[in-house]
Amino acid sequence: MARVKGGMLAQKRRKNVLERAKGYRGVRSKKERYAHEALLHAGKYAFAHRRDKKTDYRQLWIVRLNAAIRESGHASYSTFIAKLKKQNIALDRKVLATFATEHPEIFTRISKQVV
């Protein structure tokens, strides 16, 4: 059986790897082996940090909510959320934080309802 070197496909694969690694520092953007390894690590970090981003946003919403809740006269974030659940008001933290920052009049109406 004849030997197949796969010249065109190998070149295409190398070019694709190096294009994706463009902007990486040093050898990681010049040599195919190091670029490929850098891309593998970058993919792992991207996957993990997409998950972390969700956590970061939730923490941000909680901080904003806590500040607005204390301004409106409630004791703390946790007691406010407990009272919300007890009154069957189904608003998530993202919506509440948006109301607190962008529409304070709506948030004050909600906080008065929770008392």
pLDDT of 93 reads 94
* 60 pLDDT above the threshold of 80: yes
Q: Which residue has the tokens 């407990």?
A: 82
**What is the rounded CA–CA span in Å between residue 21 and residue 16?**
9
* Burial of residue 104 (number of CB atoms within 10 Å: 0-12, 13-18, 19+): middle
Q: What average pLDDT does the chain have?
A: 94
d(CA 77, CA 93): 11
* Model pLDDT, residue 5: 77
Give CA–CA dist 95/1, Å, rounded: 66
Tell me the two tokens of residue 107. 């948030």
pLDDT band at 114 (very low <50, low <70, confident <90, very high): confident
Q: What tokens does 72 get?
A: 């409106």
- pLDDT tens profile 5-55: 778 988 999 999 999 999 999 999 999 999 999 999 999 999 999 999 999
pLDDT for 62-103, tens place per residue? 999 999 999 988 989 999 999 999 999 999 999 999 999 999
> Check: CATH 3.30.70.1400 for 7-114?
no
Angle 107-83-92 (CA atoms, 0-180°, nearest 5)? 55
Residue 72, classified by CB atoms within 10 Å of its CB into exposed (0-12), middle (13-18) or buried (19+), is middle
pTM above 0.85, yes or no: no
